[in-house]
A and B are shown apart, each in its own frame.
Chain A
Amino acid sequence: MKRILLGFVAAAALVGAAAMAADATAPPLGLPPVPIPADNPQTPEKIALGKKLFEDKRFSSTGQVACATCHDAQKAFTDSPLTTSEGIKKGGKPLTGTRNAPTVVNAAYFVSQFWDGRSPSLEDQSQHPFVNPVEMGLKDHRPILKIVRSDPAYAKAFEQVFGKKGAAITMKEVEQAIAAFERTHVAGDSPFDRYYFKGDAKALTDQQKRGFDLFVNKGRCVSCHVVEQNTALFTDNRFHNIGVGINGIQNDVPALAGEFLKAKVTLAEVDVKILGDKRTSELGRFAISRDFEGLGAFKTSTLRNVAVTPPYMHDGSLKTLRDVVVHYNNGGVTKEGDPVNDFLSGGIRPLNLTEAEIDDLVAFMEALTSPQFASLPSGARTEVKP
């Protein structure tokens, strides 16, 4: 078992592996090569199989919910504008969890998956929603395996892609196919990319250029939403408490954290617990890392295509990008003047932005939308209603 020291080192190693692997497609403008694990190379057949699995509603207890239900290709692979995702129906109404569905687009660049990083890879992540009671509601993965082993179309595909059939097909192959499909969904080449990496001075409006200046300087956004010399992931792959959600449980943190530890939950149980109980969900990364740093902390999202994936934050509580900037401007509280939680990340503080500067930042973030998503409704300034 390889010991991975630092997520960044791991990503670099995987990129190195990718360089030697088959795929010679250039990454989109503004993005580095997609990290591809050595044991799961991309092939067109595998990607097609992954797409089929991703969209298959039979992998739910009601036969109505697939990965694509919450990660809809028509909505930049989210279920915007839902606040928190809706899974299987019980008593005629869909069950909901506690978290907003993140986009699959560019998820391949994350070092860990889920808002709290509880999954180390796209492969691993894909298995969990199937067996979560408020998502796809299966008791275990056996129904999935039954289908992929017996359905003729699947059987043929698995044999072609993995050389396996019948009982030899395991969840590992299912996960690998889904992950391979997800790795094809990367998107750059936004107006910002053309401005910053191609030197096209006309790609951004003057307002967006002012917004970029704020993004790097007064707004301090670039501290976590990383932009580098030749590429921009817009995430540092780390976890930060920025005061969303935790403010609601501030006084209860000691009790909640203590209870959670005492319950000695396993990782599989964590997945169920945090989607099942909002107050536990607000513990954030702590549920996984069990250290102080994780209290109320969530993974930095990429900002690519952020304008077309409202609402925002792990709980979908901020409806527009403007609301988001106001939250940061207030120094980590949604309503100005509210008390700030004790575990707030050190980098979050009041920004003293003017109204015009807030608008400039919002305009800049609209420039991060890739061409293929440009026609989707924007949640930049007004709430997108269902």
Chain B
Amino acid sequence: MNPIVPSRRDFLKGAAAAAAAGVVPMSVVKLAFADPALDFTFGYISDAHIQHISGTKFVRNWDRGLIRAVAETNLLNPKPDFVVFGGDLGQLGMKEELDHGAEIMSKLRHKTYYVMGEHDYYLDLGEYWSKLFGPQWHSFDHKGVHFIVLNSILTFDDWTFNRWPSAEQRMLEMAGLDNPNGSPFMVGEKQRAWLKADLDKVAKTTPVVVFSHSPLQKLYKGWNFWTDDADEVQALLRPFDKVNVIYGHVHQIQYNQVGNIAFNAVMATAWPWPYPQTYAHAEHAMPVLTVPMNRADPFHERDATGWQFIDVHTGRVALNYNLYNNTARTVAFNPASGRPEDKLFQDPAKRIPPQEHY
């Protein structure tokens, strides 16, 4: 606990006090029900959207977001076991963008795993990305947990190979979130077959954590908050006792529980996205459990962006969202209720106006 007391409590803005209670960024959060022997943390940075303008100029605001996330992750003490980059390193999949992003990420003093995002993929179908970061889907084990990295932003072959006259055009079409010419994300048959074979070798009691860019759920098709074969993928994960899916793409706090699977979205370092319910003409499925993050303040360039560090306790994850100039949030699996919950704001009586005022 913070040693600056007691006068600090007298005047600290509630936000900071809650932050001290919810997240101490310089140390591992120890939750009451954790078995210390199985505790570890990893960092998660996502959706940097490094955007090239011309020459050596990149959109400064997105650059600064990633730079800051990297600098802060490097300050974590004790050090996380590894860091994951959740996808969309570049904006239009250009070599310049991936190189610039990789250069910023190289300042991280941790081993880093990379997840493919659609903004990385659709220019050259991941060719340069694979040179930088390795296989587009794979798995690894760490301290008794089975980790899976998926490329969940693939789409129908016809759209990918036949629809567009050039790779650049294809990338541009997929880059527009609300573009009616887009195409739904999916993991695809080939990868699902690999996933089945991979999972066959894993004991049902082993905790499983899946890193995906798309939500592996069907949330809102208009903005591709969607994985078309979510049902099939979830079916493959169903036999396991404890499954956690961590996804990017949505640039907002979301979380959900479907059967045995806990779903958690991560923040972007670049910019926030509105919740689908703020679009007057959307028909969407917002995960009911989710307590929205604060509505973004456009005058604060880092507001509603952030990065996170994730604690793993006995096979369950707790996401600690580091939100700039805002109350930090922790969404942790609550074994009593069997689902992820926001430690501060789950109770409707505890909500604050920026969470409801959209």
A interface residues (Cβ-Cβ under 8 A, vs B): 1, 3-7, 112, 120-121, 124, 223, 238, 253-254, 257-258, 261, 264-267, 270, 288-293, 342-347, 349
- Closest CB of chain B to A273's CB: distance in Å? 12
Give Cα distance in the complex from A267 to B2, angstroms: 11
Chain A contacts of B53 at CB under 8 A? none
A5 to B3, CA, bound (A): 21
Q: How far is the CA of A346 from the CA of B326 in the complex (A)?
A: 14
Query: CB < 8 Å: which of A6, A238, A270 contacts B14?
Result: A6
Distance between A348 CB and nearest chain B CB, rounded to angstroms: 9
A120 contacts B7, C-beta separation under 8 Å: yes
User: How many whole Å from A197's CB to the nearest CB in chain B?
Assistant: 22
Interface residues of B in 54-92 (CB under 8 A from A): 60-61, 64-65, 67-68, 70-72, 74-75, 77
Residue of B nearest to A222 (CB): B299
Q: Judge whether B64 and A292 touch: CB under 8 Å.
A: no
- B16 with A292: CB separation less than 8 A: no
Q: Which of B8, B14, B15, B67 contacts A342 (CB 8 A)?
A: B67
Partner of A347, one of B8, B70, B301: B301
- A266 surroundings in chain B (CB, below 8 A): 3-5
Is B16 in contact with A289, judged by CB distance below 8 angstroms?
yes
Q: Is the CB of A346 within 8 A of B301?
A: yes
**Complex contact B14–A5 (CB within 8 A):** yes
What are 27 residue pairs bridging A and B, where the CB atoms are less than 8 Å apart in the complex? A5-B13, A5-B14, A120-B10, A120-B11, A124-B7, A258-B75, A258-B77, A265-B3, A267-B5, A288-B4, A289-B16, A290-B4, A290-B24, A291-B25, A292-B25, A292-B72, A292-B75, A342-B68, A342-B70, A343-B68, A343-B71, A343-B72, A345-B302, A346-B65, A346-B302, A346-B303, A349-B61
Cβ-defined partner of B75 (8 Å) among A5, A257, A265: A257
Interface of A is mostly: loop
Verify A290–B20 contact, CB threshold 8 A.
yes
Q: Which residue of B lies closest to A254 (CB)?
A: B75
What are the residues of chain B within 8 A of A344 when measuring CB–CB?
A: 64, 68
* Nearest residue, chain B, Cβ from A341: B71
Asked whether, in the complex, the Cβ of A267 is within 8 Å of the Cβ of B4, the reply is: yes
Q: In the assembled complex, how far is the CB of residue A338 from the closest CB belonging to chain B, in whole angstroms?
A: 15
For B25, list chain A residues within 8 Å (CB). Answer: 291-292
B325 contact from A267, A290, A293, Cβ within 8 A: A293
Bound Cα distance from A155 to B308, whole angstroms: 58
- Tell me the smallest distance from the CB of A126 to a CB of chain B, in Å: 14
A121 to B7 alpha-carbon distance, docked (Å): 11
Known contacts A238-B325, A261-B26, A349-B60; A112/B11 CB under 8 A? yes
Taking a contact as CB atoms under 8 Å apart, the answer to whether B71 and A342 are in contact is: yes
The distance in angstroms between the C-alpha atoms of A258 and B303, with both chains bound, is: 25
Please report the C-alpha to C-alpha distance between residue A264 and residue B2 in the assembled complex, in whole angstroms.
8
Within 8 A of A (CB), among B279-323: 299-303, 322
Of all chain B residues, which has the CB nearest A287?
B4
